[in-house]
Chains A and B, each alone.
Chain A
C-alpha cells in the first residue's frame, strides 16, 4: 500500500518536471494563460482583460499562443484551472481577480518555472508578481467634471461592495468634485453585488429620484447610463469600458481599463527571460487607466480643466490624495502638501471629511 502510494507520488513528480522540461525545449511558441472570473461577454471587467489578451495575440503573432478559461469560480476551481494551464505548458499566467490570490500563490509553489501575474492582490513570490490600476486617478477627473456639471449639487454614486478599491474611488471623486463645487453632496448606494443589471438600473433610478443629476458607478453594466438617458438632464460616465454608445450624453466621459500595454510588456519579458516579480500599480501615466473622450455635452472650459488635471496626474506632478485632508470623523489624515502613501491607499477603509453616511461593515 505504502509502496504504491510512494510510487504514484514519484511518478507524479516526475511527470510534472518532465512536462515542464519538455515544453521548455519542444515549444517555440510561448504559451500565455488567462484565468477570468466572469464571461468574456460581460462587457466590463473580464471583457477588458480579454481585449488585453487579444492585443497580446495580435502583437506577437506566431510567437505566442494564448489560452483562457472564463467564469472560473474563486477557490479550488481556479487552483485547478491554473495547474492545468501550467501542466499544459503555459509559461506565464495572468489571474485576473482578487479572489485568485491564495490559489495563485499555491500553484506558483508547485511550478517554480512558470511566472504568475495576479491582478489586484497583495501577495507576491519569487515567480508571482501583482498588478493593479490606479482607477482613483480617473475618478479625480470624473469628480472634477461631475462637480462642475451638477446643478442640483447632488451626485449619486453606485458602489458594489465596500472594499478599498471602491472606497478609494468614492473619496477621490468627492475630493475633486468638492474642490470645484463646495456645495456638492454625495449620495451613495451599495448594490452588494458585482453584477446585476436590473438592480443597478433600480439604484440609478432611486438616486435620480432623490435629486442626483450626475451618476457615478462602480458597477460594470450600462444600466445606470440607460436610466440617466431615460430621466433626461442626467449625466453619467462609462465604467471599465468606454460605453460610447451612450455618447455624447448621458455618457460624457469614461474610465477605461486598458490592460493591453502591460500584458504585452510582461509577455515580452518572459520571452526575453527578463521577467521579475514586481508589484505594479499603474495609472493614467502608464496608460493602464484610460480616460474616454470627454464629449461636447461638457462646456469647453470644464473639459480643458479636466484635461489639465489628467495631464498633471499623468506626469506625476499631482497626486489625487494630496493634503490637507481630514478623515470623515474630523481627525487629521494628510497634512498640507503631504501625499498618501501606497500602503494606506491600498487598504483604505474610511471616507474623507464631508462625505455623509457610513461604510457598511
Chain B
C-alpha cells in the first residue's frame, strides 16, 4: 500500500530536487519516444538541452533564450499574482494582442516623426491596451459577478478578429502593395525596441520582465498588498475579516496581469517581431499560464521556468532541423516535461509511505 503523508513543512531539499528529477525522467521517456521514431535518443536529448546552451553555436542561442523567454516571464509574473489570489485570468493572449496593437498603433501614428518621446508613449499605450482588455472581465465580475475565466477567454477570440481587422485595414502598411500587416517598426528608429546591448538578446521587454520579477518578489514578501493577495488565496474568509476588499483586489490583479501582458505584446511588436500581422500572436499568453504554474507561482521560479520553456522551444527547433524529428514529437516531449514537473512536485509537500496505515 502506497500512501501520501503531508509534511509539516514543504521539504526544502525536494523543492530543488524535484525539477531535476522531472528533467531526468523526461529525458528517459523522451529518449524512448525518439528511439521509437528511429532517432538516436542520446543525440536528440543532447541537441535539445545541451546544444542551445553549450554547443557550437551557443553564442547565438543563448541570447535567443532571453528573446523567447522574456515575454513568457513578463506575462506569467502578472498572471501569478491573480492566480495566488484565486483570480483566473486565462485571457492573457488577448491582452497581449491588444497591447501590441495599441503600442504599435501609437508609434505608427507618429510616423515618420523621429522623437525621443515616441517610445515611452508606446510603452504606456501598450500597457494601457492590455489593462483595458483585462478590465472588461474585471469590471463585469465586480459589477455582475460574471465568471472571469470565461469572459477573458472569449475576449481572446475577439482580440484575434480585431488583430486581423487592423492588419488588413487601419494599420496596413501603405507601402505594402496591398499585402496585410503594418509597417516594420524595426525600420523606424524612434519606435524600435532595439537590443540594449547588441548581440545579447536583451531588449526592453526582457529588461521589463526582470524588473517585473523583482517587483513581484518585493510585493509578495514585503508589501501589505502582497500579503492580502496571499491571504485571499489561502484563506478567503480570513482575508475578509482582515479588511481586504475583494473588488479592489480583483481589479488590481486583473489590471496588472493585463498591463504586463499588454507590455509584453508591445515590446514584441516593436522589437523582435517588428510588425503587426494577422498571425502576430503565437500563444505566449497560454504558454505563460503553464510557466506560471511550473514556477510554482513564485517570481524566481517563474524566471527559471520561463527560461526552461524557452530552452525546449529552441532546442526542439534544432532537433527538428538537424535530426528530422517531427514538431509533433517535440510537442509531446514538452507535454511530458510538464507532466513530470507537475507529478513530482507532490514530493515537496508530501512524504511517500509504504505499508499499512498507522492508527491516527
Interface residues of A (CB under 8 A from B): 5, 8-9, 11-12, 15, 19, 33, 39-40, 67-77, 79-81, 83-85, 87-88, 98-99, 102, 106, 122, 161-164, 192, 343, 346-349, 360-361
Contacts and interface: CB of A to CB of B under 8 A. Distances in A.
A255 to B, nearest CB: 21
B180 A161 contact: yes
B273 interface: yes
Contact of B168 (A8, A88, A163): A163
Contact of A39 (B275, B322, B328): B328
B37 to A, nearest CB: 14
B247 interface: no
Contacts of B278: 99, 161
B358 interface: no
Q: Which A-B residue pairs are the 9 nearest by beta carbons?
A: A347-B178, A76-B272, A347-B177, A75-B273, A73-B282, A361-B169, A12-B59, A349-B178, A67-B321
B199 to A, nearest CB: 5
A69 B199 contact: no
Given A84-B318, A84-B321, A360-B168, A11 B282 contact: no
Interface in B160-197: 161, 164-165, 168-169, 177-181, 184, 186, 197
A162 B168 contact: yes
Contacts of B179: 98, 122, 163-164, 347
A350 to B, nearest CB: 10
B131 interface: no
B198 A9 contact: yes
A75 B272 contact: yes
A70 B168 contact: no
Nearest to B273: A75
Contacts of A161: 164, 168, 180, 278
A148 B318 CA distance: 51
A99 B277 contact: yes
A8 B199 contact: yes
Contact of A9 (B169, B199, B313, B328): B199
Interface in B292-342: 313-314, 317-318, 320-322, 324, 326-328
A80 B314 contact: yes
Contact of B321 (A69, A71, A347, A361): A69
A76 B273 contact: yes
A207 to B, nearest CB: 21
A99 to B, nearest CB: 6
Nearest to A85: B321
22 contacts: A15-B56, A15-B59, A19-B56, A39-B326, A39-B328, A40-B326, A67-B321, A67-B322, A67-B324, A73-B279, A77-B68, A77-B282, A80-B68, A81-B321, A84-B60, A84-B61, A88-B57, A122-B179, A161-B180, A163-B168, A164-B178, A347-B179
Nearest to A121: B179
B303 to A, nearest CB: 20
Interface string B43-56: 00000000000001
Given A69-B327, A70-B326, A161-B164, 20 more contacts: A39-B328, A67-B321, A68-B320, A69-B317, A71-B327, A73-B282, A76-B68, A80-B64, A80-B67, A80-B68, A80-B314, A80-B317, A84-B318, A85-B321, A102-B186, A122-B177, A163-B168, A164-B179, A346-B178, A361-B168
Contacts of A83: 60
A348 to B, nearest CB: 7
A69 B320 contact: yes
A192 B273 contact: no
A8 B278 CA distance: 37
Contacts of A9: 198-199
A214 to B, nearest CB: 27
A40 B320 CA distance: 12
B280 interface: yes
Contacts of B324: 67
A12 B169 contact: no
B317 A84 contact: yes
B321 A102 contact: no
Contacts of A19: 56-57
Contacts of A98: 179
Contacts of B61: 84
Contacts of B314: 80
B327 A70 contact: yes
Nearest to A37: B279
B332 to A, nearest CB: 13
B189 to A, nearest CB: 16
B327 A39 contact: yes
Nearest to A162: B168
B60 A12 contact: yes
A1 B9 CA distance: 43
Nearest to B64: A80
B126 interface: no
Contacts of B60: 12, 83-84, 87
A361 B178 CA distance: 11
